[in-house]
Amino acid sequence: MSRYKMNIRGKISPEDCSVIYDYISIAGEKDDLTVQIDEKEEENKEIIYKMLKNKKFNIVSDEVYSGKRRYIRASRYRN
């Protein structure tokens, strides 16, 4: 099992979505992915959740640390 991390700062733009999809596509079956986003960007959370679900990931945890950064941990499930 591999572990991947992605750190996103600021608001996700439509242009960013392609790059994010490419990155999360690298993770294989049983791999773990953690996405860090600004806690105040609620729209980012919804975008990331949709992208992960479209790529067949389960959300394992969603936590905010120090009131600033949201850590969304996900793992890919079998097709």
As given in the structure block, the two tokens for residue 26 are 């690298």
Residue 57: strand pairing partners: 76
| Per-residue model confidence as pLDDT tens digits over 8-60 | 999 999 999 999 999 999 998 889 999 999 988 889 999 999 999 999 999 99
The answer to whether residues 38 and 9 touch, using CB atoms and an 8 Å cutoff, is yes
- From 33, 11, 36, select the one nearest 23 (Cα to Cα): 33
For residue 78, name the pLDDT band (cuts at 50, 70, 90): low
| Per-residue model confidence as pLDDT tens digits over 6-18 | 999 999 999 999 9
- List domains and CATH numbers for the chain: 3-76 (3.30.110.10)
As given in the structure block, the two tokens for residue 43 are 């729209």
